[in-house]
């Protein structure tokens, strides 16, 4: 098959010695980011993205994607040893992982978590390998109306599937569109919302925004909570790994079910967090001894970790093939691709084959390298949490400031970063989601461009978005997802028995 040949060429690119070194460095940095509560993959990539500007795009994306894989692995360490979720999707892992650690089975719990993460990510990468080229080839038939419909569907899913208030998700998204409109209009060349400021003429850089929204706001919140780390110690021996691996094949059906749940939730922009909770809930519901969940069941670790990694990895499929990110981290990676002069979407598979298949090959290799590193170095990563949080917070703040300044070598960007750090802190306190804001900021220009081109083709008629079965079907699905919360409330009373 052509995909296998292209993947083999991608491995030749990914296995270059400099890319292998970046892969290992990215995994280590990612695990460090995952271990520190509050940072997370999106935050770490946003903070470290300026460091990749001097690298070739293939090497840069390998480094950033491996930071993401490492962060996915690292979140389980604090969840199991310290009962502190390093990532939002690691919350479900604490339900049974921490009780296992308290029972002296920390090594078994960590081995099960890391292996489950590997399996979930591997299934998602295989899916990306064979589905992404097909989706991209199909998307080559898209015109401006179809591209706008796909983006509308993505925005609608973020609103309709929001964990909190859909109105808050909509408000955050509108704020992102407002920020995306600052600067020069790409169609008419006129300045918009610059208020006479020379610095705003180039627009508001998404990287400065995400460093403030994700990095600074989390530090502010952690300082307010007075975060302290207390937990158990763990050491993984070869005997523990082999004993746990001998037991895991008994849960093959759980692996398959959790991987499918995670892949579905990753492609639809629901995210890794709902996937982990849904997989845990399904595993508990289908277990014979439901009451034992929450007391140290290995299935309670396997289910959420498998689903979370499958969702986190499969979120890259719509980003690569359609240019529409399926998660906040994918949105940050999408912004990085645009900054490197690459245009994510179907043409990426035609014009940048080395880049695409090198990235996909690095997913396989990074997953393997990540599993080896975390199994071998758990005590070292866990020891980081013995460092006073005041020192860690100061280092992170310094890295954020350097990263924001590096984007345009402008002090104004550091000020903007501080402003958006406060905005992100307020939004989190008021329970406004950040993901819709970042998605709108990254895709705002492309969405506006597709919308205006569509109206120019149709001479101002909105009927162009229902002019054929493809664009009409996508728009209809988007409208259903947009009004899903309202429809579900109207339908719920009818589903209840009389």
Grouped pLDDT means (10 residues each) for the chain, 498 residues:
72 82 85 67 69 77 80 74 65 78 79 86 86 74 78 75 74 86 74 75 75 74 63 60 82 87 73 73 76 78 86 80 71 74 74 79 84 76 63 73 72 85 87 78 78 83 81 83 72 56
Helix, strand, coil percentages in the chain from 3-state DSSP, rounded to 5: 80, 0, 20
Q: Is 221 exposed, middle or buried (0-12, 13-18, 19+ CB in 10 A)?
A: middle
Rg (CA), the chain: 22
Determine if the pTM surpasses 0.85: no
Output the CA torsion sign for 115, 121, 125, 126: positive
In this predicted structure, what is the pLDDT of residue 237? 65
Residue 141 DSSP code = T
Q: Phi/psi at 357 (nearest 5 deg)?
A: -80, -25
Q: How confident is the model at residue 231, as a pLDDT?
A: 46
CB 37 within 8 A of CB 86: yes
Phi-psi region of 294 (alpha: psi -120 to 50; beta: other; left: phi over 0): left
Distance CA 122, CA 454 (A): 39
In degrees and rounded to multiples of 5, residue 323 shows phi and psi of 80, 20
pLDDT value at position 489?
A: 67
Between CA 424 and CA 442 the distance in angstroms is: 17
Cα gap 68→84, rounded to integer Å: 19
What's residue 329's pLDDT?
72
Nearest to 168 by CA among 440, 427, 441, 438: 427
Helix (H) or strand (E) holding 482: helix 469-482
- 37 contacts 392 by C-beta, under 8 angstroms: no
In whole angstroms, how far apart are CA 246 and each of 112, 184, 232, 243? 11, 60, 25, 5
Query: Which residues are CB-neighbours of 72 under 8 A, at least 6 positions away?
Result: 30, 34, 41, 87, 117, 121, 272, 308, 309, 312, 370
User: Residue with structure tokens 């090594």?
Assistant: 107
**pLDDT given for residue 271 in this prediction:** 63
DSSP string, 151-163: HHHHHHHHHHT-S
**Residues 22, 297: contact at Cβ < 8 Å?**
no
Closest C-alpha among 358, 303, 301, 339 to residue 96 = 301
Q: How many CB atoms lie within 10 A of CB 351?
A: 11
- Alpha helix positions (H), 36-105: 40-48, 57-81, 91-102
Rounded CA gap, 276 and 259, in Å? 10
pLDDT at 498: 47
Give residue 56's pLDDT: 80
Which distant-in-sequence residues (6+ apart) come within 8 Å of 100 by Cβ? 80, 106, 108, 109, 296, 298, 301
């Amino acid at each position: 098959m052509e995909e296998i040949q292209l993947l083999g060429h991608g491995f030749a690119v990914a296995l270059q010695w400099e890319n292998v070194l970046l892969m290992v460095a990215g995994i280590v940095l990612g695990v460090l980011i995952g271990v520190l509560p509050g940072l997370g993959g999106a935050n770490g990539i946003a903070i470290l993205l300026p460091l990749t500007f001097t690298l070739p795009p293939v090497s840069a994306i390998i480094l950033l994607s491996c930071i993401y894989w490492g962060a996915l692995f690292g979140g389980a360490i604090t969840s199991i040893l310290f009962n502190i979720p390093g990532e939002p999707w690691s919350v479900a892992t604490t339900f049974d992982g921490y009780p296992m650690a308290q029972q002296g089975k920390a090594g078994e719990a960590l081995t099960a978590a890391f292996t489950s993460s590997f399996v979930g990510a591997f299934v998602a990468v295989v899916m990306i390998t064979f589905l992404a080229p097909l989706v991209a080839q199909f998307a080559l038939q898209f015109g401006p109306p179809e591209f706008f419909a796909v983006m509308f569907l993505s925005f609608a899913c973020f609103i309709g599937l929001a964990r909190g208030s859909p109105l808050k998700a909509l408000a955050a998204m509108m704020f992102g569109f407002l920020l995306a409109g600052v600067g020069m209009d790409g169609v008419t060349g006129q300045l918009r919302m610059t208020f006479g400021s020379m610095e705003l003429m180039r627009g508001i850089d998404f990287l400065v925004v995400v460093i403030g929204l994700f990095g600074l706001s989390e530090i502010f919140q952690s300082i307010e909570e007075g975060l302290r780390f207390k937990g158990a110690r763990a050491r993984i021996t070869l005997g523990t790994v082999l004993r746990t691996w001998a037991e895991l094949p008994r849960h093959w059906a759980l692996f398959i079910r959790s991987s499918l749940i995670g892949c579905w939730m990753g492609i639809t922009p629901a995210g890794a967090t709902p996937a982990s909770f849904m997989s845990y809930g399904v595993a508990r519901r289908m277990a014979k001894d439901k009451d034992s969940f929450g007391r140290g069941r290995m299935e309670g670790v396997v289910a959420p970790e498998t689903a979370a990694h499958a969702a986190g990895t499969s979120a890259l499929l719509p980003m690569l093939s359609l240019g529409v990110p399926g998660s906040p981290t994918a949105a940050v990676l999408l912004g990085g691709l645009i900054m490197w002069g690459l245009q994510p979407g179907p043409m990426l598979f035609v014009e940048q084959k080395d880049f695409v298949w090198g990235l996909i090959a690095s997913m396989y290799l990074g997953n393997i390298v990540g599993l080896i590193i975390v199994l071998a170095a758990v005590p070292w990563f866990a020891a980081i949490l013995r460092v006073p949080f005041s020192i860690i917070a100061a280092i992170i703040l310094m890295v954020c400031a350097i990263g924001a300044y590096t984007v345009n070598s402008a002090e104004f960007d550091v000020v903007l970063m501080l402003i958006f750090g406060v905005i992100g802190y307020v939004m989190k306190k008021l329970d406004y989601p950040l993901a819709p804001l970042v998605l709108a900021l990254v895709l705002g220009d492309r969405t506006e461009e597709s919308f205006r081109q569509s109206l120019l083709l149709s001479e101002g008629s909105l009927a162009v978005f229902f002019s054929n079965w493809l664009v009409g079907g996508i728009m209809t699905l988007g409208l259903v997802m947009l009004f899903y919360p309202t429809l579900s409330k109207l339908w719920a009373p009818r589903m209840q028995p009389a």
